A and B are shown apart, each in its own frame.
Chain A
Amino acid sequence: GESVGLHLPTLSVQEGDNSIINCAYSNSASDYFIWYKQESGKGPQFIIDIRSNMDKRQGQRVTVLLNKTVKHLSLQIAATQPGDSAVYFCAEPHHAGSNYKLTFGKGTLLTVNP
């Protein structure tokens, strides 16, 4: 079965609020994770990644948190905007140390209400 999965299939937030999207993984040897954003009719777009030697990584308005103890990671989006509406996937390479053969979870649909 898949080693990454999403807790919630949909998330609806008000514009300006913070969004938190969660992801669980099962392989304790996993060492690299990537978050992708997929807008309707488009291909996935890289948002941010994190390696297992880190607990937290910040980008522009996004933060990824990694909890290796419970094998869980989250994507936090600050001040969510309508343009953030999309499906968000966490993904990991099938083989530790590689960066191909990405395994994607089913995704969380984020809807931002104006």
Chain B
Amino acid sequence: NAGVMQNPRHLVRRRGQEARLRCSPMKGHSHVYWYRQLPEEGLKFMVYLQKENIIDESGMPKERFSAEFPKEGPSILRIQQVVRGDSAAYFCASSRLFSGGNDNEQFFGPGTRLTVL
């Protein structure tokens, strides 16, 4: 039973380029969450998606960042015109359902480490 998959694991981009990060949730999970982690910091929530819907994007910068979770295929976090401050580890998590119950555990992927030169 594969866990949350993210690719690429490492991504290097020059300033001004686009970064595209992919996340495949665990089998049977329909809820995806993206977090960003700066060095020696905790994770910061960015966006919460269900299939074809953005539920909460309050943690995502208004410009240059976008996320989608299409009906088929992985969730994509897209960063346009990257800047050095975008360098961070980006983690995706998925859960089986959304509720207040204890069984809504978020399972995290291994992350994509983005370096902007």
Contacts and interface: CB of A to CB of B under 8 A. Distances in A.
Interface of A: 2, 32, 36, 41-46, 49, 51, 89, 91, 94, 97-107
Contacts of A99: 95, 98-101, 104-106
A51 B40 CA distance: 27
A16 to B, nearest CB: 28
A49 B103 CA distance: 11
Nearest to A42: B110
A41 B40 CA distance: 12
Interface residues of B, number: 31
Interface of B: 4, 31, 33, 35, 40-45, 48, 55-56, 58-59, 91, 93, 95, 98-102, 104-111
Contacts, number: 72
Contact of B105 (A41, A46, A51, A104): A46
A106 B40 contact: yes
A89 B91 CA distance: 15
16 contacts: A42-B111, A43-B108, A43-B111, A45-B108, A49-B102, A51-B102, A89-B42, A89-B43, A99-B104, A99-B106, A100-B48, A100-B55, A102-B35, A102-B45, A106-B40, A106-B41
B56 A107 contact: no
B91 A100 contact: no
Q: Top 6 A-B pairs ranked by shortest CB distance? A: A104-B42, A43-B108, A99-B104, A97-B100, A104-B43, A101-B45
